[in-house]
Amino acid sequence: MSLIIRDVSKTYPNGVHALNSIHLEIPNGMFGLLGPNGAGKSSLMRTLATLQEPDTGTIEFNGFNLLREKMHLRSMLGYLPQEFDVYPKISAEDLLSYLAELKGVSSRRERQALVEHLLTVTNLYDVRKKAVAHYSGGMKQRFGIAQALIGQPKLIIVDEPTAGLDPEERVRFHNLLADIKDDVTVILSTHIVSDVSDLCQSFAIINKGEVLSNQTPQDALRGLRNKLWEKRIPRHASVELPLDRLVSMHLSMGDQIVRFYGEDLTALGAELTQPTLEDYYFITIKGLTL
């Protein structure tokens, strides 16, 4: 395990218990942190990025104490915060070069090569002279990743990176993350389940500051095999639904498509269907049991 989080808790001065005894072991590769808004994801991300102290607990990264050796951690950290507000009126090229200098890339030639590489992999080379403030949401996110990749980080933390991106921008952003080397630990915090199913080798679900689940997407889906049921309910029909079995409802061509979790729900007129990670997410968050 590259990152070991033990018993981390945080209560803010206003009394909100944002993190309650978080325990997570995170391997190299892409790790997804899923949870609804207010679950505690950003609080955990900021703690891992050494921007805030937990009240209790320890965090180890590749064998060293992350909370004690903050400067060491920062030298190998790439962080894309949720609110990434960049300086206005500075071109992407100049801003990356400036940030690279801050991160210790002191040779001008090295900096130029690095900036060119980052602009190319994030597909921003053609707009490198444009002020980052005038970028679209997707371009800003890619710029955010470019700056997070400066200095060959070993730990990359990206907080809600795809919120607000259009589908094409999301795919481009996913491809960019998927290209990061395997020996790097990438933590992707999101409330969008498909970010995790598309990208992550393992993931955790947190809610109300607690870890509810931590496993691989494959194992999560295996556990739901033959337990996911679906029923189409025509528009305007009134049907009583068993709430303790109800996973989700969505509209399809005007009808309600309802998904249930259970052993045998043929009596409801439902049919077995393929489980998805989204089903797993809802079942976990709602605490449904068999």
Please identify, using beta-carbon distances, which residue of 16 and 113 lies nearer to ligand ADP: 16
Give least dist CB 159 to ligand ADP, A.
7
* Cβ atoms of residues 229 and 273 within 8 Å: yes
Give least dist CB 35 to ligand ADP, A.
5
The residue behind tokens 């890339």 is 105
Helix (H) or strand (E) holding 12: none
Q: Which residues contact 190 (CB under 8 A, 6 or more apart)?
A: 32, 33, 34, 41, 160, 161, 162, 163, 196
Give least dist CB 12 to ligand ADP, A.
3
Identity of the residue numbered 198: D
Please identify, using beta-carbon distances, which residue of 15 and 287 lies nearer to ligand ADP: 15
Give least dist CB 105 to ligand ADP, A.
31
Say which DSSP state 268 is in: G
Identity of the residue numbered 39: A
Please identify, using beta-carbon distances, which residue of 16 and 239 lies nearer to ligand ADP: 16
Give least dist CB 18 to ligand ADP, A.
4
Please identify, using beta-carbon distances, which residue of 16 and 178 lies nearer to ligand ADP: 16
Count CA atoms within 13 Å of residue 181 on its CB side: 7
- Which positions lie near ligand ADP, rule CB under 6 A? 12, 14, 16, 18, 35, 37-43
Please identify, using beta-carbon distances, which residue of 16 and 102 lies nearer to ligand ADP: 16
What HEC string does 120-145 produce? HHCCCHHHCCCEHHHCCHHHHHHHHH
Helix (H) or strand (E) holding 118: helix 108-121
The residue behind tokens 């079995």 is 245
Please identify, using beta-carbon distances, which residue of 32 and 35 lies nearer to ligand ADP: 35
Give least dist CB 40 to ligand ADP, A.
5
